[in-house]
C-alpha cells in the first residue's frame, strides 16, 4: 500500500487538494492495481474547516499528528507552496514537536507547513530525493486568502522556496492558475501533472514487484511485518534466548500466552534471530492478509514454498480429461502432500523454520483445530513453531507457556513505549504502574502509558490546582493510575476509548471504532470516510490512530485494524446496533467498483452478517464462476465459514427462499455455486461430508422446483446433483 503525504499551507490550497482527491488519487490507484498495489494520499486537512487551524489550538492539533503521519506514509512526499507561509504557532509548540522526533532546528519561528517540509524532506537527503515540490503562481487578480499574509510571512516563504531551489538545483515544478471569479482555472492540469510525476517515481518499484507470484508477495508482507514487530521487542530477553535454543533443538514448539502478552513481538524477535543463523525462516501471521486466514491456506503456502525450493511442479487442482470438470484435492490429499514435500525437503540439507503466529485466530475449522498444518513427521532440518492463547486446544502436544513478566521486563516495556513517544515518567509513577495486577500483560502496560500520554488542558488544570510543578504532575498521574484506570485488559481498552473520544472527537472515535469493531479485517481511510460521511475528518482519525498506536495495525492493502481482540471487545461494548452498522457497511460495499479488493474480500461476509439473502443470490449468480474465479472463490470461502458456524442453516434458508424468486437464465448458477465452488471448501471428514449432504439435499430441492416451474434445461444441474449425492 502506497500512502503519500501532502504538505501545504491551509486555507489557500482547497482547489489543489480537492483535485488531488478527485482526479489524481483515482488515476494513481487504477495504475497501482495493475501492479497488485493500492494507492492513497494522506492530507490531514481533508474533511475539516481549515480556517479553524490557523490558531494555536489548531496548530497543536496538527503538530500532534502530522510528523507521525509523515513517518507512516511512503515516499514520495508532495509539497505544495503558494504565496502563503502559513500560521506560525508559539515557538514552544514547534520546539516540543521537533524534540519528540529528534529534529534539530536553528529557527523555531516557523509555520506548521515549514516544519512538515523540514522533517519530511529537507533534514535528510534520502527523504529529500523522494519529495516532489510544486510552486504555484497566480496570473492576474485573486482573493486575499490566496495571497501572502503580510511582509514578514512573504519573506519567510520566499526564503523557504529559495532554500528548496538551491537544494534541488532548480528541479521544481511550477504551475500557474488564474482566478475566474468562482475558482481557479488550471487546477485539472496540475492534478494530471502530479499523476504523471508520481507514476514516473513509482513505476520502477512497481515494475520490480509486478512479476512476483502471489505467494512471493504474500511472503514479503509477512516478512516486513516480522521486521517491524521485532523493532518493538524490549522485554523477555532471557526467555527469548531460552526459546531460541529450544526451537532449534526440537521439531515442534508451541508457545502459549494470553491476549496482549507479547507473543507476536516475541515470535518476530525469534524470527529475526533465526535469520542470522543457517536457518531459513518462513513466517505466517494469521489474518495479516486475505491468504492467511485459514489453516488450509497455511498448508497450501507451506507446500508451495517447498515446491519452489525443490523446483518441482505445483500441486494444483486439475480437470478431468473426459468430463472437463474440476477435480479438487481433498483434505487428505493436502495432508499427504504436506508430508511428502516435507520428507523430500530433508534430503536437501537446508534448514527451514516455519513460524505461525496466532493459530487461534485462523478461521475455525477441523484442519485448524486438529493442527493439520504441522508436518506429521519429525526431521532435524525442518522445524515448526506456533503461538496461540492458553484456551486453544493443541491435541495434547507439550507447550511452552510464557512466564510472568519480571519487574525489569515491565520497566523495559514502559521504557520502549516512552522512547517511541519521546516522553518520560517519574520513578514513583513507573513503580505504581508495575504493581498493578494486570501489569504482567504488555498490552495493558501500553494502554496505561497511552492513558498518561493523553493528559490535556483539563488534566493540567487539575495539576495547577495542586500547585503546578513536577510533584503536582506526579500526584495527578498517580491518581489516574490508582483510580481512573481499570485493572482489567478489556475494561482498560474501553476506558482508553472513552478518553480518546473526549480528547479528539467523541463522535468520530465512537463511530469509527464501531465500524472497525464490526468489520472482519478493518477499513481503509477512504472506506471510513464514506461510512462516516460528514462526521469524518482525516486529522482526527490520524490523531486517534496515533493516540492508540499500539492498538492498531495497518494491513498490506491499507486497511487499519485493531491488533488485539480485547481492543475490539472494548469498542463493541459501546456498540448499540450492530445490525444497522452491517447494513450500512453492505450498502457501501455495493457502491464500490466490482474489482475493488476490499469489496471482493468483504461483501459476502457482510451480506451474511446483514442477512440479505436476496443480494447473496444476485451476487453469486452475477459472476459466472469460470470467468470470475477470485470473486466466486471468496464468496464460497465466506459461505463455508458461515456453514461451519450454523451447520449450514443459512445457506439452506437461501436455497429455500430462492425457489420463489423470479427465474432468470442466471439463477441456475446458484446450484452450480453450491455444488462445485462451495463444495470445494469442505474437507473430506465424516462430519463435513454429513453437512455437505444436508446442503446438497436442499440444493436438489431448489433445482427440482426451478426445473419444474421454469427451465427444462436445468436437468443438467439435477444430473450433476444426483451424481454428487
Per-residue pLDDT tens digits for 544-598: 887 677 788 888 778 899 888 878 887 887 788 899 999 999 999 999 998 888 9
Looking at every residue in the chain, the average pLDDT score rounds to 85
What is the pLDDT confidence band of residue 628, given thresholds at 50, 70 and 90?
Answer: low
Q: What is the DSSP letter of 105?
A: -
What is the pLDDT confidence band of residue 208, given thresholds at 50, 70 and 90?
Answer: confident
Contact assessment for residue 532 and residue 512, using Cβ atoms and an 8 Å cutoff: yes
The helix (H) or strand (E) run that includes residue 123 is none
* Average pLDDT rounded to a whole number, residues 182-211: 89
Name the CATH superfamily for 214-401. Answer: P-loop containing nucleotide triphosphate hydrolases (3.40.50.300)
Return the closest-CA partner of residue 607 out of 633, 632, 631, 589. Answer: 589
* Average pLDDT rounded to a whole number, residues 87-116: 88
pLDDT of residue 725: 47
3-state secondary structure of 202: helix
575-587 pLDDT, tens digit per residue, is 888 999 999 999 9
* Average pLDDT rounded to a whole number, residues 356-366: 90
pLDDT of residue 25: 85
What is the pLDDT confidence band of residue 431, given thresholds at 50, 70 and 90?
Answer: very high
Contact assessment for residue 513 and residue 574, using Cβ atoms and an 8 Å cutoff: yes
* Average pLDDT rounded to a whole number, residues 626-652: 86
133 has a pLDDT exceeding 50 = yes
What is the pLDDT confidence band of residue 632, given thresholds at 50, 70 and 90?
Answer: confident
More confident residue, 467 or 695: 695
321 has a pLDDT exceeding 70 = no
Say how far apart CA 438 and CA 720 lie, in whole Å: 58
Q: What is the DSSP letter of 574?
A: T
Contact assessment for residue 628 and residue 621, using Cβ atoms and an 8 Å cutoff: no
309 has a pLDDT exceeding 80 = yes
What is the pLDDT confidence band of residue 709, given thresholds at 50, 70 and 90?
Answer: low
Return the closest-CA partner of residue 385 out of 462, 463, 285. Answer: 285
Q: Which residue has the cell 513460524?
A: 355
- As its CATH architecture, domain 2-210 has 3-Layer(aba) Sandwich (3.40)
What is the pLDDT confidence band of residue 724, given thresholds at 50, 70 and 90?
Answer: very low
Identify which of 59-73, 92-106, 295-309 has the greatest average pLDDT. Answer: 295-309
**What percent of the chain has a predicted confidence (pLDDT) above 70?**
90
Q: For the range 147-152, what are the long-range contacts, defined as Cβ-Cβ under 8 Å and sequence gap of 24 or more?
A: 147/83, 147/84, 148/83, 148/84, 148/85, 149/84, 149/85
Say how far apart CA 48 and CA 499 lie, in whole Å: 22
Contact assessment for residue 669 and residue 716, using Cβ atoms and an 8 Å cutoff: no
Return the closest-CA partner of residue 497 out of 574, 420, 578. Answer: 574
The cell numbers describing 1, all together, are: 500500500
41-77 pLDDT, tens digit per residue, is 887 754 444 444 455 555 566 676 788 888 888 888 9
Contact assessment for residue 113 and residue 86, using Cβ atoms and an 8 Å cutoff: yes
718 has a pLDDT exceeding 60 = no
627: cis peptide before it, omega within 30°?
no
414-424 pLDDT, tens digit per residue, is 988 887 766 78
The helix (H) or strand (E) run that includes residue 74 is none
| DSSP H helix total and E strand total for the chain | 33, 15
Say how far apart CA 388 and CA 402 lie, in whole Å: 11
Say how far apart CA 721 and CA 698 lie, in whole Å: 11
pLDDT of residue 665: 66
Contact assessment for residue 655 and residue 670, using Cβ atoms and an 8 Å cutoff: yes
486 has a pLDDT exceeding 90 = no
Where are the extended beta strands (E) located within 494-636?
552-554, 560-562
* Average pLDDT rounded to a whole number, residues 284-311: 90
Pair type for strands 77-81 and 131-139? parallel
pLDDT of residue 322: 57
Contact assessment for residue 613 and residue 657, using Cβ atoms and an 8 Å cutoff: yes
Q: Which residue has the cell 479438487?
A: 328
pLDDT of residue 1: 74
What is the pLDDT confidence band of residue 27, given thresholds at 50, 70 and 90?
Answer: confident
Contact assessment for residue 36 and residue 556, using Cβ atoms and an 8 Å cutoff: no
Of 99-113, 190-204, 679-693, the poorest mean pLDDT is in 679-693
Identify which of 288-292, 372-376, 450-454, 615-619 has the greatest average pLDDT. Answer: 615-619
Amino acid at each position: 500500500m502506497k500512502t503519500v503525504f501532502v504538505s501545504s499551507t491551509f486555507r489557500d490550497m482547497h482547489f489543489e487538494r480537492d483535485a488531488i482527491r478527485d482526479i489524481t488519487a483515482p488515476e494513481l490507484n487504477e495504475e497501482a492495481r495493475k501492479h497488485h498495489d493500492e494507492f492513497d494520499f494522506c492530507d490531514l486537512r481533508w474533511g475539516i474547516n481549515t480556517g479553524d487551524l490557523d490558531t494555536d489550538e489548531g496548530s497543536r492539533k496538527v503538530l500532534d499528528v502530522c510528523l507521525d503521519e509523515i513517518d507512516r506514509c511512503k515516499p514520495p512526499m508532495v509539497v505544495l507552496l503558494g504565496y502563503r507561509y502559513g500560521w506560525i504557532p508559539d515557538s514552544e509548540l514547534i520546539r516540543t514537536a521537533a524534540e519528540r522526533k529528534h529534529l534539530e532546528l536553528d529557527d523555531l519561528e516557523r509555520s506548521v507547513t515549514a516544519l512538515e517540509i523540514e522533517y519530511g524532506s529537507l533534514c535528510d537527503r534520502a527523504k529529500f530525493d523522494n519529495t516532489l515540490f510544486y510552486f504555484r503562481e497566480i496570473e492576474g487578480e485573486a482573493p486575499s486568502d490566496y495571497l501572502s499574509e503580510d511582509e514578514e510571512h512573504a519573506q519567510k516563504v520566499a526564503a523557504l522556496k529559495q532554500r528548496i531551489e538551491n537544494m534541488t538545483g532548480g528541479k521544481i515544478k511550477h504551475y500557474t492558475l488564474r482566478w475566474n471569479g468562482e475558482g481557479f482555472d488550471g487546477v485539472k492540469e496540475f492534478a494530471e501533472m502530479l499523476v504523471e510525476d508520481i507514476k514516473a517515481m513509482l513505476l520502477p518499484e512497481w515494475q520490480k514487484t509486478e512479476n512476483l507470484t502471489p505467494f512471493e508477495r504474500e511472503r514479503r508482507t509477512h516478512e516486513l511485518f516480522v521486521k517491524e514487530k521485532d523493532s518493538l521487542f524490549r522485554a523477555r530477553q532471557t526467555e527469548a534466548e531460552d526459546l531460541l535454543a529450544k526451537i532449534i533443538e526440537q521439531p515442534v514448539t508451541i508457545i502459549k500466552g494470553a491476549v496482549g502478552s507479547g507473543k507476536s513481538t516475541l515470535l518476530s524477535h525469534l524470527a529475526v534471530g533465526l535469520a542470522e543463523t543457517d536457518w531459513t525462516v518462513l513466517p505466517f501471521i494469521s489474518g495479516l492478509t486475505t491468504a492467511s486466514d485459514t489453516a488450509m491456506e497455511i498448508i497450501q503456502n507451506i507446500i508451495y514454498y517447498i515446491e519452489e525450493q525443490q523446483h518441482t511442479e505445483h500441486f494444483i487442482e486439475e480437470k478431468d480429461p473426459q468430463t472437463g470438470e474440476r477435480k479438487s484435492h481433498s483434505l487428505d490429499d493436502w495432508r499427504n502432500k504436506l508430508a511428502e514435500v516435507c520428507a523430500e525437503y530433508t534430503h536437501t540439507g537446508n534448514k527451514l523454520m516455519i513460524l505461525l503466529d496466532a493459530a487461534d485466530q485462523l478461521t475455525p475449522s477441523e484442519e485448524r483445530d486438529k493442527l493439520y498444518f504441522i508436518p506429521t513427521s519429525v526431521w532435524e532440518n525442518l522445524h515448526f513453531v506456533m503461538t496461540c492463547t492458553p484456551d486453544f486446544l493443541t491435541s495434547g502436544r507439550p507447550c511452552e507457556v510464557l512466564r510472568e513478566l519480571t519487574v525489569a521486563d515491565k520497566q523495559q516495556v514502559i521504557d520502549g513505549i516512552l522512547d517511541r513517544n519521546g516522553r518520560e515518567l517519574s520513578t514513583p509513577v513507573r513503580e505504581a504502574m508495575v504493581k498493578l495486577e494486570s501489569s504482567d500483560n504488555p498490552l495493558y502496560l501500553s494502554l496505561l502509558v497511552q492513558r498518561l500520554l493523553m493528559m490535556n488542558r483539563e488534566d493540567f488544570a487539575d495539576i495547577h490546582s495542586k500547585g503546578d510543578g513536577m510533584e503536582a504532575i506526579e500526584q495527578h498521574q498517580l491518581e489516574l493510575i490508582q483510580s481512573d484506570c481499570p485493572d482489567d485488559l478489556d475494561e482498560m481498552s474501553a476506558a482508553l476509548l472513552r478518553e480518546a473520544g473526549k480528547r479528539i472527537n467523541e463522535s468520530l472515535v465512537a463511530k469509527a471504532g464501531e465500524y472497525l469493531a464490526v468489520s472482519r479485517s478493518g477499513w481503509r481511510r477512504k472506506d471510513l470516510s464514506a461510512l462516516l460521511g460528514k462526521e469524518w475528518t482525516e486529522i482526527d482519525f490520524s490523531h486517534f490512530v496515533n493516540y492508540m498506536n499500539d492498538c492498531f495495525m495497518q494491513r498490506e492493502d491499507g486497511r487499519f485494524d485493531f491488533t488485539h481482540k480485547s481492543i475490539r471487545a472494548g469498542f463493541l461494548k459501546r456498540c448499540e446496533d450492530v445490525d444497522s452498522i452491517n447494513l450500512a457497511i453492505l450498502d457501501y460495499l455495493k457502491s464500490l467498483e466490482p474489482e475493488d479488493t476490499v469489496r471482493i474480500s468483504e461483501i459476502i461476509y457482510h451480506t451474511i452478517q446483514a442477512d440479505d439473502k436476496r443480494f447473496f443470490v444476485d451476487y453469486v449468480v452475477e459472476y459466472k464462476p469460470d470467468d470470475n474465479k477470485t470473486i466466486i472463490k471468496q464468496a464460497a470461502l465466506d459461505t463455508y465459514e458461515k456453514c461451519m458456524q450454523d451447520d449450514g442453516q443459512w445457506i439452506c434458508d437461501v436455497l429455500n427462499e430462492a425457489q420463489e424468486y423470479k427465474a432468470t437464465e442466471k439463477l441456475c448458477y446458484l446450484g452450480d455455486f453450491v455444488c462445485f465452488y462451495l463444495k470445494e471448501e469442505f474437507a473430506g471428514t465424516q462430519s463435513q461430508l454429513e453437512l455437505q449432504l444436508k446442503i446438497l439435499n436442499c440444493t436438489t430441492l431448489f433445482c427440482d422446483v426451478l426445473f419444474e416451474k421454469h427451465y427444462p434445461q436445468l436437468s443438467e444441474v439435477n444430473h450433476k446433483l444426483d451424481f454428487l449425492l
